[in-house]
Amino acid sequence: MNRLISILFLLVMCVLAQADQLTIGSVSEQIRQAEYLHEEARIVDHGWVITRKLIEQAKAALADDQLISADELSKLALRTAQASVDQSIRQEEVWRARIPSS
């Protein structure tokens, strides 16, 4: 029983510690990075719809003081934005392979 209480206590502490580390500034920075990468992809016509949606949702969550939710959404946005940039770089290298040979 004592062990269970200890584990629960540790879990609660972990969650609280994580929440402590999250700040409006850190989440805002993640959103800013996602926006930057999304724009990088957009410039070369490789923007993804999902990234824009996630950025908007992260901003809305942040404005609503839902820091944990905003953090998760901005991380997802960052991941999809990075994937879209990676896609644009990869396609630059391989697109010609799809042309039927003359």
Partner 1 sequence: MIRRVACLVGLLVGLGSASADPESDRQALARYFEQRFPDVEVVAHIDGAYALNEQTREQWLAMEDFPPYEFSVDDGEVLFNTSFEDGSGYQDCFDDGNVKARFPYFDLEKQTVVTLELAINDCRAASGEEPLAYNGEDIALLSAYMAFASRDSLIDIEVPGEGLSAYEAGKQYYYSRRGQLNFSCSQCHMLMSGMKLRAETLSATIGQVTHWPVYRFKWQEIGPLHRRFVECNEQVGAEGLDYQSETYRNLEYFLTYMSQGLPLNGPASRK
Give 75's contacts (C-beta < 8 A, 6+ positions apart): 30
Instruction: Say whether residue 76 binds partner 1 (CB under 8 A).
Output: no
Binding test (CB under 8 A) with partner 1, winner from 28, 40, 52, 57: 52
Instruction: Compute the least distance from the CB of residue 59 to partner 1, in Å.
Output: 17
Instruction: Say whether residue 57 binds partner 1 (CB under 8 A).
Output: no
Spatial separation of the C-alpha atoms in residues 45 and 67, rounded to whole Å: 31
Instruction: Say whether residue 42 binds partner 1 (CB under 8 A).
Output: yes
Spatial separation of the C-alpha atoms in residues 51 and 18, rounded to whole Å: 25
Of 22 and 44, the one with the shorter C-beta distance to partner 1 is: 44
Q: Are 60 and 31 in contact (CB under 8 A)?
A: no
Spatial separation of the C-alpha atoms in residues 51 and 81, rounded to whole Å: 6
Of 27 and 34, the one with the shorter C-beta distance to partner 1 is: 34
With CB under 8 A as the contact rule, which of the stretches 2-10, 21-29, 62-70, 84-92 interacts with partner 1? 84-92
Spatial separation of the C-alpha atoms in residues 91 and 95, rounded to whole Å: 5
Applying CB under 8 A, the residues found at the interface with partner 1 are: 42, 45-50, 52, 80, 83, 87, 91-92, 95-96, 98-102
